[in-house]
Structure 1
């Protein structure tokens, strides 16, 4: 088996968007990619160890924080002194607590151990880098992500017309939308899009349409909530090809980016922010750090600790009822053309320097 500088894998799975992300960031290096099968995680755990011992890479880079991937990294570092770097977009223990609060103490130990013994941490936000450093990571760097596709203003305008015609949304409708993974948090009966439908149903404005694009365990739940408005005023088309993401966003006027103001949401930017910017969409979000640090006059910051709370939904409903075309146009004008935080080449250079210096000292 051919040796490479870096052995890399993504615990979200082979061919996933997270694997594509880390391969882009590490494009300047010689890589050995280990497929990670989510359907057979233990087999993947064994494969990582076997390939690392056979090829003896200078470094392992893991995208994600899946337990068996992390345990493989820890095993190889403890017993064979192969250093590893972790890249992550979530605070692990708080995220797990949403659905599995009883195992949080165990997950906390895992998260802190993973950071304590790593050679470095790549955070999707600077807040996650700071969290890793407090857990003992020796150094860190931020790589916030980027939009994989782009559209000109003219292309966005064409997509706006064609997607609305395809779905049956009136040309003059004000579309509040969201694109993302529609995963149901059963403990709170919440998923992305819930806040849009609930706010819409509070006021039922004649000029507003809801468009939630994506799939997951919460899609059937959203369809149930939509009721008679499904396919008339509320549209839930499911998954769309990734290369068409910006086209569907172009059909929207305002984008929802709901995040909890706590140890889950406050550490995130969310992966869709760079794409909302590329689609020239003003954003509604909560009062998380990103809404002040990254976003400027092109966002509405709503009150409330959770996007499923009445306080947040009432504020969103009021915005739906009162926002004007002029107000939206002003927000759009304030959207940065190419924010450096989401520039791919800048992040590649940053991560390349970070990884190069780690390999020099390990």
Structure 2
């Protein structure tokens, strides 16, 4: 353990996946975790400031970019000289502006100030690292994430049979699937999985099935879209335990990673790419930088700027209509056994060195 007084919190909340992520990356340091309750953000703001002023840490680390957490970091930096670093998986301003355009000037300014006064930035992709450096972050490092579970090929084969039998998916069905948060975006009338169901309804094959795993505000909408599936080939099981994520992925043949080709989607890797790799799943996505940089021959890159627009959905439907098991097997063979970008140990070493340099 590296002895250093470091305070850590995640704006997504105490015990969240984001908190678990940053603690994994900081495992070589002795840290104090600060509680952050999303239900009472003002109280969390005061607690963070009070704890930091009382303990006088050498560094504050924030996972996320929530406004309240950012204000705490800026307050401590500007009035008490306590440095902070923050970590993010999204381009903040474009992400918020997507749903609330009226807030664009405010969040643009907030993002630039947060970068300008930080001691360093941890980006979930190299594109976000470049963005933070452009806005004035003095140092930055990439930590892209990792799969939380592993399976052998034999275990994946067993899980494929088990989960398909459990859900009622025919053994010979070709399954397009997705696993993630099914959050509804009101402005665009979209959530993950929408593109799969819309494309499915444009095909006339009887051996195609859809499996969307996850929960959220968009699940009811997907259930309504699936109601017309009289032959029961759309499966929406809801949330599954983390330890079963790869088992459900094993039931799929092709994984969907829908991302918009814009200032939101183009900066992301998406959090499930490492799990899809671990499950040996070929991926279909849009023409985002990730698709060219790390995905190679095991991916289908579809045209269309938005996964909810006709161009993308028609391209996906065309792929569903023509795809064969032989084509999928070719893609599967092209999947590498390991990609260093998603190796946990390498990311821990990288972040450890990064923070040590900041603390010098």
- Give the TM-score band, short-chain normalised: over 0.9
Instruction: State whether residues 4 and 32 of structure 1, in contact with CA within 8 Å, keep that contact through their aligned partners in structure 2.
Output: no
For 1:51-130, list aligned pairs within 5 A: 51-130=51-130
Bigger mean CA deviation after superposition, 4-13 or 317-326 = 4-13
Q: Counterpart of 1:255 in 2: which secondary structure?
A: strand
Q: For residue 252 of structure 1, what is the aligned residue in structure 2?
A: 252
Is 1:242 the equivalent of 2:242?
A: yes
Q: Could you state the TM-score of these two structures normalised by the residue count of structure 1?
A: 0.98
Q: For residue 196 of structure 2, what is the aligned residue in structure 1?
A: 196
Extract unaligned runs of 5+ from structure 2. Answer: none
What is the CA-CA distance between 1:204 and the residue it aligns to? 3.5
Q: For residue 146 of structure 1, what is the aligned residue in structure 2?
A: 146
Q: For residue 17 of structure 2, what is the aligned residue in structure 1?
A: 17
Number of aligned residue pairs: give it.
358
What is the CA-CA distance between 1:98 and the residue it aligns to? 1.9
Q: For residue 183 of structure 1, what is the aligned residue in structure 2?
A: 183
Bigger mean CA deviation after superposition, 339-348 or 91-100 = 91-100
What is the CA-CA distance between 1:149 and the residue it aligns to? 0.5
Q: Counterpart of 1:24 in 2: which secondary structure?
A: helix
Q: Counterpart of 2:227 in 1: which secondary structure?
A: helix
Q: For residue 289 of structure 1, what is the aligned residue in structure 2?
A: 289
What is the CA-CA distance between 1:231 and the residue it aligns to? 8.1
What is the CA-CA distance between 1:225 and the residue it aligns to? 1.1
- Deviation string, structure 1 residues 247-298 (Cα, Å, up to 9, x no partner): 0000000000000000000000011000000000000000000000010000
Q: For residue 307 of structure 1, what is the aligned residue in structure 2?
A: 307
Distance 1:56 1:164 in 2: 54
Q: Could you state the TM-score of these two structures normalised by the residue count of structure 2?
A: 0.98
Taking a change above 3 Å as real, the CA distance of residues 39 and 232 of structure 1, as seen in their structure-2 partners, is same
Distance 1:230 1:42 in 2: 49
Instruction: State whether residues 4 and 55 of structure 1, in contact with CA within 8 Å, keep that contact through their aligned partners in structure 2.
Output: no
Q: For residue 38 of structure 2, what is the aligned residue in structure 1?
A: 38
Q: Counterpart of 2:319 in 1: which secondary structure?
A: helix
Bigger mean CA deviation after superposition, 223-232 or 242-251 = 223-232
Bigger mean CA deviation after superposition, 227-236 or 107-116 = 227-236
Q: Counterpart of 2:87 in 1: which secondary structure?
A: strand
Taking a change above 3 Å as real, the CA distance of residues 134 and 218 of structure 1, as seen in their structure-2 partners, is same
What is the CA-CA distance between 1:230 and the residue it aligns to? 7.2
Q: For residue 216 of structure 1, what is the aligned residue in structure 2?
A: 216
Q: For residue 345 of structure 1, what is the aligned residue in structure 2?
A: 345
- Deviation string, structure 1 residues 124-149 (Cα, Å, up to 9, x no partner): 00000000001000010000000010
Extract unaligned runs of 5+ from structure 1. Answer: none
Runs of 4+ in 1 over 3 A off after TM superposition: none
- Deviation string, structure 1 residues 233-254 (Cα, Å, up to 9, x no partner): 1111111001100000000000
Distance 2:217 2:231 in 1: 20
Distance 2:230 2:257 in 1: 22
